[in-house]
Amino acid sequence: MLEVTNVPTNIITGALGVGKTTLIQSLLEHKPKEERWAVLVNEFGEVGVDAALLNSPEETGVYIREVPGGCMCCTSGLPMKITLNLLLAHAKPHRLIIEPTGLGHPKEVLATLTSEDYKGVLDVHATLGLIDARKLTQPRWRAHKTFQEQLQIADYVVATKSDLYNHESKPMLVKYLDELGITNTPVVFSNKGVIDPNLLSNKSQHLQSVYVHQHNHAAHSILNPGIKVPTKGSIKVENSGEGYFACGWVCAPAELFDYQLIVDTLSGINVERLKAVFITQEGGVGCNFSDGVLRLTTLDSAKDSRIEFLTQNKLLAEQTCKILESALGLSAT
């Protein structure tokens, strides 16, 4: 029996690269100092980079755990339940935030959170569905069923990176939501991940309409225990499913990378998504690549270096692996 009751719980969902991690980081910065918050992150890839990018030590009252290796809703939510139970027991949080992978199915996640297993333990509040309205110019993005579901289950649609929109972006977003039958859900525009933290406290309006449907993923482990960090060199890990290919590396803590080489190498790649944490001569560096732009952040600390990218093009994935392995000295196996 878990020793917590009615923990306010929020799901932060949205497609790949819409800014979920950035928004969560912003929310954590507004966390009341006396409160403990827990964050459960699910990544499509096997390596797990988001926890390091969030860069919030437990001494600040923030507890972060990951469920790597695909959609956390698979196998009746078993990977999610095990990690969530351990997180709740350890943190005893005042609030729980869950970030499913951009390729995940939020209705199944919501069904797990509202199941008998968590009755009286979790109190599900507002789900935030993030969208970058600029992506609506891409037909394959507009037609993606999982991305649509993420918005349909949301209590608030959060339009991220709104400072980059042109005059057509907002009308296009309104029309798209109308096409999906989303007419009464409030739309919040966000710049650099900033929203009103009070939105988290509002109750979910979708708890009575949750249903579970079957879906298939590429085979991966039911419970990924995490990649063991090597004592020297690096370990390469690959994953695929939902039409995407992921490749990543975990490096030994003693591996030291050249800062300028990282910038030069990652600025020239052509994948849809890349996240990384590097230990360099200048300290810890977080890398976030999306929409053709590489963003770097300084990290207070990094336990090891790790990098992972995602693309829908298998040949491009193979080519990018070779580029990164050659330039950064990463393992090819």
Mean confidence (pLDDT) of the chain = 87
Question: What is the band of 207 on the pLDDT scale with cuts at 50, 70, 90?
Answer: low
Question: What is the band of 301 on the pLDDT scale with cuts at 50, 70, 90?
Answer: confident
> What pLDDT sits at residue 36?
96
User: Could you read off the pLDDT of 5-61 as tens digits, one per residue?
Assistant: 999 999 999 988 899 989 999 999 999 999 999 999 887 666 767 767 776 778 889
> What pLDDT sits at residue 216?
45
Q: How far apart are CA 19 and CA 13, in angstroms?
A: 10
User: Could you read off the pLDDT of 267-294 as tens digits, one per residue?
Assistant: 989 998 899 999 999 899 999 898 888 9
Cβ atoms of 299 and 202 within 8 Å: the answer is no
> What pLDDT sits at residue 80?
77
- Which residue reads 């972060």 in tokens? 64
Phi, psi values for residue 40, rounded to 5°: -110, 115
Q: How far apart are CA 95 and CA 326, in angstroms?
A: 43
CATH code 3.30.1220.10 region(s) in the chain:
234-328
How far, CA to CA in Å, does 147 sit from each of 26, 117, 141, 144, 152? 23, 27, 8, 5, 9
> What pLDDT sits at residue 1?
55
Percent of the chain past pLDDT 70, that is, above it, reads 88
Higher pLDDT, 216 or 295: 295
- Pick from 235, 239, 240, 206: which is nearest to 325 by CA? 235
How far, CA to CA in Å, does 106 sit from each of 19, 29, 99, 260? 17, 25, 10, 39
CATH code 3.40.50.300 region(s) in the chain:
7-209
Q: How far apart are CA 239 and CA 96, in angstroms?
A: 28
Look up the CATH number of domain 7-209. Answer: 3.40.50.300
How far, CA to CA in Å, does 193 sit from each of 20, 25, 163? 8, 8, 11
* Fold adopted by 234-328: Hypothetical Protein Yjia; Chain: A;domain 2 (3.30.1220)
> What pLDDT sits at residue 162?
95
Cα-Cα end-to-end distance for the chain: 43
Give the number of other Cβ atoms within 10 Å of residue 219's Cβ. Answer: 9
> What pLDDT sits at residue 222?
32
> What pLDDT sits at residue 126?
96
Phi, psi values for residue 244, rounded to 5°: -120, 155
Average pLDDT over residues 307-332: 94
